[in-house]
């Protein structure tokens, strides 16, 4: 069994995104991101092909990542050598990198979202 299959087998909760779930995700994330002076649609988690010659391969705002996290039922772990948090979509540039939240803080936030949804939105 490969890692993806193993992770899929261990998923005990998923939640298909819809308008109501999207609004709940946004409210949950924005309440926690307020301390960082931002919101879930102003921070983008962006990945490049490699750090030496960065070409953006993926970029997503935190609200969309939150919806994906609930749909997958697990938190994606990012390689911080090629992934960062930025204030502009599809841009991997130190000039627009945000120091807070960090990639690891985003992963922790997604874990918190998943746990909250399991406990409170599972109906």
pLDDT value, residue 99:
93
Measured CA to CA, the distance from residue 53 to residue 14 in angstroms comes to 36
Q: Could you give phi then psi for residue 120, rounded to 5 degrees?
A: -110, -20
Q: Does residue 41 contact residue 26 with C-beta atoms inside 8 Å? A: yes
The per-residue pLDDT for 1 is 37
pLDDT confidence band for 4 (50 / 70 / 90): very low
Q: Residue 45 pLDDT > 90, yes or no?
A: yes
- Mean pLDDT, to the nearest integer, of 25-51? 97
Report how far apart, in Å, the C-alpha atoms of 8 and of each of 1, 34, 109, 114, 119 are.
11, 32, 21, 15, 20
What are the domain boundaries of the chain?
Answer: 3-120
| pLDDT tens string 55-96 | 999 999 999 999 999 999 999 999 999 999 999 999 999 999
């Amino acid at each position: 069994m490969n890692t993806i299959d193993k992770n899929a087998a261990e998923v005990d909760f998923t939640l298909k995104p819809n308008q109501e779930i999207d609004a709940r995700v946004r409210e949950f994330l924005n309440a926690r991101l307020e301390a960082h002076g931002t919101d879930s649609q102003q921070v983008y988690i962006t990945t490049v092909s490699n750090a030496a010659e960065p070409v953006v391969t993926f970029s997503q705002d935190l609200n969309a990542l939150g919806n994906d996290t609930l749909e997958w039922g697990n938190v994606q772990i990012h390689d911080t050598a090629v992934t960062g948090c930025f204030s502009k979509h599809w841009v991997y540039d130190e000039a627009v990198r945000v120091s807070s939240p960090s990639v690891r803080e985003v992963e922790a936030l997604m874990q918190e979202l998943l746990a909250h949804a399991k406990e409170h939105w599972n109906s």
